[in-house]
Structure 1
């Protein structure tokens, strides 16, 4: 797909097949279903979903193929609006049609905003209702995918804000937020994605953690000062 960086490609691949890269979390149970959905109903929906997204595992999938998958996922959502991973994979498929540089621009405002809406809906449907709830394996992989994907989208939004450019397709709250606050939210999403099993999210959580970045900046400044003092001593 055009416009995808190496990082994008890794994330896209892992989100379509999260079981391939996610590690087990302490929350996962042996169950596979989703909240409020019987196992047989879940199995039927999952089988349909896997058939839809199987055609998108190839990097050379045509825009027409992607559009067909999006339509099929939309039909699945209409048929079963409580099926969380259909929203996540619809966001994923839609992302294949938007080059990285066009995310949250005027011409792609509606599509970009829909990405965030689908991810939020998937998180809402798959998320635990209390802190002691034991999640099914599928819940964990869905949440890992959703939080990781949203984390990268928030980083993109933070980058646009940092360049003093207009962000399109987002809420008023995000439009008026600072780049630092949006990046902090991205870090929280990565931390959540890592908690649910995404290795990529765990790495990004460390890299974007504001306290870690602050400590890193302090250390760099201290080393710089120490080097300058050492050079001054050598010259004297």
Structure 2
């Protein structure tokens, strides 16, 4: 399996450890289904999905096993294109096949772009249609995972841009964006992931919040000046 960073380990907790996301959210109801799906159909799809990803829970899956899981999730999507979590799980599984250093490079452009498309589709299908809509526990799990994963991908894109390198596998909007604007998008995704119950997303939302970073920079500058003044006083 490609080497995963600490950032990556946060991402895979959400879907591959489903209880991690939904436990603390205030949005969850006692329902389990997804929008537009009858409970019995959801139950069947979820059973198939859990069987597919069960082989990935150990964290020791070889590339062949992961490829098979991705193929099976693609078949599930073909059968039920409105089943949101299959897209999210396909992104999670596919991510295991891409080394962190290869994300959004020319060698992994297509696969990296597909990660973003799957996450976007999953979010689109799972998002509530109104602010008053009560979400099922599975919706919160799916949305927490999707927003958190996409947030980390956007941070990777921001790093590439900041290093003056070209981003591959994304649309013109992201390619032409500044590192700061992409990082702000990541912060927004982390905030959304946190609202849906991801502790890791909440922590990252604070770290990447542009206003918090600005305040932090001001504090650091004030401390630096105080230290310099202290040193000057000692020399007198």
TM-score by length of 2: 0.97
For structure 2, the 5+ residue unaligned runs are none
Take 2:176 and 2:49, find their aligned partners in 1: how far apart are those partners? Answer: 37
Aligned match of 1:188: 188
- Taking a change above 3 Å as real, the CA distance of residues 148 and 217 of structure 1, as seen in their structure-2 partners, is same
Aligned match of 2:105: 105
Q: Please state if 1:115 is matched with 2:115.
A: yes
Deviates more, 1:3-12 or 1:212-221: 3-12
State the Cα RMSD in Å: 1.0
Aligned match of 1:128: 128
Take 2:7 and 2:208, find their aligned partners in 1: how far apart are those partners? Answer: 15
Take 2:103 and 2:121, find their aligned partners in 1: how far apart are those partners? Answer: 20
| Count of equivalent residues | 236
8 Å contact from structure 2 (residues 20, 198) kept in 1 = no
Runs of 4+ in 1 over 6 A off after TM superposition: none
Q: For residues 2-47 of structure 1, what are the alpha-carbon distances to aligned partners after superposition, in whole Å with 9 as ceiling and x for unaligned?
A: 2212331342233322323543322111110011111111000000
TM-score by length of 1: 0.97
Instruction: Please give the residue correspondences for 1:78-227 in structure 2 after superposition, counting only pairs within 5 Å.
Output: 78-227=78-227
For structure 1, the 5+ residue unaligned runs are none
8 Å contact from structure 2 (residues 143, 193) kept in 1 = yes
Take 2:110 and 2:16, find their aligned partners in 1: how far apart are those partners? Answer: 22
Deviates more, 1:11-20 or 1:184-193: 11-20
Take 1:23 and 1:176, find their aligned partners in 2: how far apart are those partners? Answer: 38
Take 1:2 and 1:114, find their aligned partners in 2: how far apart are those partners? Answer: 18
Aligned match of 1:44: 44
